[in-house]
């Protein structure tokens, strides 16, 4: 009997020691949603991979608004609590997690109360989050604020962020460095985001906060720790977009080969290029032109795998037979795609309500005029709603639109829109004389590269 008791006690102690050892590798977060009439059912905990947030865990919220995480922490770093506010840039709940932390959160509508047995560096992180929250309203989609409100704020906001950053002096040098980088990244990323959002009022193109000039340097991105922040890739993306759009000479496409000259760290280059290529919506011709300059820097296994799949998708429609649609012209005469066999066909998908579409019309007219009599047909295919057919006819007559003018039967539900996965206009399609696809997302008439392409095709 004594022997059995001894083994029971020994087993119990062993289990407890094992549990304690395992627990030392975890951080514990206990939280309560304290928002009136809250409908939050689930809370997500994000960590960071390659400068973007990724889901680490999810937790259900009980009837009392309580939730919890016990998450393994192999290396100290930032985690983000999302109860539905994260992507819309409402309050930031960023935590610096290390093993053995035991944190309590009471989440209110615009702030949170932090407590616990071992909160680590998170009282300081909370102050950084508060600075983020001051900038965030200016970077929200659909917000009513304009430069009139933002410009008076930015100098004060930047000064406050710099003062806080200079006060970060804990005994943990790695944490100090990362939090300072996080604060600077927050301020810059949110500022550049402001200029990328649609606004009801815009400043003059030369009217920009002076502090932005101080952020623009020849060797801008040098620290791979940027990829430990959830907005690291976003900062690089918004920075290069801002610089490109404000470099003079009007809007232009970002030059990726030039952009990466301002990134010195090879890992940053690799990650940035993968994201930029994935989100840039380049035409086939544009990608083929830039690929030799950027592919040597996309060296990770992830980038190599990405490029294989990207190029497969990019070329998937090339050479395939075009949809043989039949739609009516302004005289209600049916016209079919097959009627144009033997000629190159350039199709403009547009609508009378679409401002960017109408901005292309003068360029389209000029292209049609310059290529008149050559082996190419220009078709303008309206995606107006069927009830607006007369409005479309009147517009064609009033604006004296040339080429072949047709209207699809079911706007975005028509076969042509569904076949070419058209969810935004204007959109342009280019076909060879056999009716096969050259490009299902061709250059716009306003792009000089369209003429270069057409000249080459017509000479071949």
pLDDT digits (tens, 9 = 90+) for 323-363: 889 999 999 999 999 999 999 999 999 999 999 999 999 99
Closest Cα to residue 124, out of 178, 75, 85?
Answer: 178
What pLDDT, on a 0 to 100 scale, did the predictor assign at position 249?
Answer: 59
Percent of the chain residues past pLDDT 90, beyond the cut? 74
Residue 4: band (very low, low, confident or very high) from pLDDT cuts 50, 70, 90: very low
What pLDDT, on a 0 to 100 scale, did the predictor assign at position 14?
Answer: 37
Per-residue H/E/C for the chain: CHHHHHHHHHHHHHHHHHHHHHHCCEEEEEEEECCCCCCCCEEEEEEEECCEEEEEEEEECCCCCEEEEEEECCCCEEEEEECCCCCCCCCCCEEEECCCCEEEEEECCCCEEEEEEECCCHHHHHHHHHHHHHHHHHHCCCCCCCHHHHHHHHHHHHHHHHHHHHCCCCCCHHHHHHHHHHHHHHHHHHHHHHHHCCCCCCCCCCCCCHHHHHHCCCCCECCHHHHHCCCHHHHHHHHHHHHHHCCCCCCCCCCHHHHHHHECCHHHHHHHHHHHHHHCCCCHHHHHHHHHHHHHHCCCHHHHHHHHHHHHHHCCCCCCECCCCEEECCCCCEEEHHHHCCCEEEEEEECCCCHHHHHHHHHHHHHHHHCCCCCEEEEEEECCCHHHHHHHHHHHHHCCCCCEEEECCCHHHCHHHHHCCCCCCCEEEEECCCCEEEECCCCCCCCHHHHHHHHHHHHC
Lowest mean pLDDT segment, chosen from 179-183, 189-193, 387-391, 417-421: 417-421
Residue 194 scores a pLDDT above 70: yes
Residue 319: band (very low, low, confident or very high) from pLDDT cuts 50, 70, 90: confident
pLDDT in tens, 7-45: 333 333 333 434 444 567 999 999 999 999 999 999 999
Which domains are assigned to the chain?
Answer: 1-119 (2.60.40.1120), 121-227 (no CATH), 253-316 (no CATH), 326-459 (3.40.30.10)
Mean pLDDT of the chain: 90
pLDDT in tens, 416-454: 999 888 989 999 999 999 999 999 999 999 999 999 999
Residue 250 scores a pLDDT above 70: no
pLDDT in tens, 158-171: 999 999 999 999 99
What pLDDT, on a 0 to 100 scale, did the predictor assign at position 200?
Answer: 79
């Amino acid at each position: 009997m004594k022997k059995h008791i001894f083994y029971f006690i020994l087993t119990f102690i062993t289990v407890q020691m094992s549990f304690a050892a395992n627990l030392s590798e975890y951080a514990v977060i206990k939280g309560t949603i304290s928002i009136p009439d809250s409908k939050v059912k689930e809370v997500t905990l994000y960590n960071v991979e390659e400068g973007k947030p990724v889901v680490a865990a999810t937790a259900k919220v009980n009837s009392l608004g309580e939730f919890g995480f016990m998450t393994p922490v192999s290396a100290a770093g930032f985690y983000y609590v999302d109860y539905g506010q994260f992507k819309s840039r409402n309050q930031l709940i960023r935590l610096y997690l290390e093993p053995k932390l035991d944190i309590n959160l009471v989440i209110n509508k615009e702030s949170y109360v932090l407590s616990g047995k071992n909160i680590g560096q998170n009282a300081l992180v909370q102050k950084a989050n508060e600075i983020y929250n001051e900038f965030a309203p200016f970077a929200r989609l659909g917000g009513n604020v304009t430069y009139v409100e933002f410009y008076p704020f930015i100098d004060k906001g930047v000064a406050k962020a710099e003062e806080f950053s200079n006060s970060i002096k804990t005994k943990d040098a790695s944490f100090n460095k990362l939090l300072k980088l996080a604060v600077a990244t927050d301020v810059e990323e949110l500022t550049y985001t402001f200029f990328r959002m649609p606004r009801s009022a815009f400043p003059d193109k030369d009217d920009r906060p002076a502090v932005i000039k101080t952020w623009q340097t020849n060797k801008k991105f040098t620290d791979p720790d940027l990829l430990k922040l959830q907005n690291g890739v976003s900062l690089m993306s918004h920075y290069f977009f801002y610089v490109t759009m404000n470099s003079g000479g009007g809007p232009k496409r970002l030059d990726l080969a030039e952009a990466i000259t301002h990134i010195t760290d090879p890992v940053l280059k690799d990650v940035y290029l993968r994201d930029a290529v994935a989100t840039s919506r380049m035409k086939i011709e544009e990608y083929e032109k830039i690929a030799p300059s950027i592919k040597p820097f996309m060296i990770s296994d992830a980038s190599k795998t990405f490029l294989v799949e990207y190029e497969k998708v990019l070329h998937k429609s090339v050479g395939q037979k075009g949809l043989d649609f039949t739609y009516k012209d302004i005289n209600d005469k049916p016209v079919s795609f097959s009627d144009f066999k033997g000629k190159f066909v350039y199709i403009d998908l547009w609508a009378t309500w679409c401002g960017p579409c109408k901005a292309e019309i003068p360029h389209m007219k000029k292209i049609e005029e310059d290529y008149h009599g050559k082996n190419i047909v220009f078709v303008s295919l309206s995606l107006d709603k069927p009830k607006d057919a007369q409005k479309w006819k009147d517009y064609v007559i009033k604006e004296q639109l040339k080429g072949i003018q047709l209207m699809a039967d079911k706007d975005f539900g028509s076969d042509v829109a569904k076949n070419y996965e058209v969810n935004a206009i204007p959109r342009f399609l280019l076909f060879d004389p056999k009716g096969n696809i050259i490009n299902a997302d061709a250059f716009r008439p306003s792009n000089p590269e369209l003429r270069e392409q057409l000249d080459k095709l017509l000479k071949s």
